[in-house]
């Protein structure tokens, strides 16, 4: 299914990051492909896998894959979160050359 997405993030590490992420996302048979405007003010292409389960009655998802548009030509990515009909709440690692931390965010789906 093709989705228009609009994400908002908060980086829990020092730095000047873009926190608004419009994009497109396509998912089928647990494979996800996406293009979005990333935290470094560049375009990212991502390809990966998504899984879903229910934990304590909550709809949980996890994604893992590869992405472009960051400090290196291709980097691994991953995120986990809770997914409802038109919104995902997520956490993901935040990694730069000098620090590590967490990104928290929300992604609305249209």
pLDDT for residue 80: 98
Measuring CA to CA, how many Å separate 30 from each of 8, 49, 64? 24, 5, 11
CATH of the domain at 30: 2.40.128
What range does the domain containing 66 cover? 2-109
Q: What is the chain's pLDDT, residue by residue, as a tens digit (110 residues)?
A: 999 999 999 999 999 999 999 999 999 999 999 999 999 999 999 999 999 999 999 999 999 999 999 988 999 999 999 999 999 999 999 988 888 999 999 999 99
pLDDT for residue 59: 98
pLDDT for residue 33: 98
Query: 30, 29, 44: which is closest to 77 by C-alpha?
Result: 44
The reported pTM is: 0.91
Structural domain count of the chain: 1
pLDDT for residue 76: 96
Strands 58-67 and 43-55: antiparallel
């Amino acid at each position: 299914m093709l989705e228009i997405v609009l994400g908002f993030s908060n980086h829990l590490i020092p730095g000047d990051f873009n926190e608004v992420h419009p994009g497109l996302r396509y998912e089928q048979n647990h494979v996800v492909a996406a293009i979005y405007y990333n935290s470094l003010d560049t375009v990212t292409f991502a390809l990966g896998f998504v899984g879903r389960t229910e934990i304590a009655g909550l709809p949980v998802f996890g994604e893992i894959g590869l992405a472009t548009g960051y400090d290196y030509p291709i980097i691994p990515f991953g995120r986990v979160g809770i997914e409802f009909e038109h919104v995902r709440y997520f956490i993901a690692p935040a990694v730069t050359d000098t620090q590590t931390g967490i990104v928290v965010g929300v992604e609305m789906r249209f």
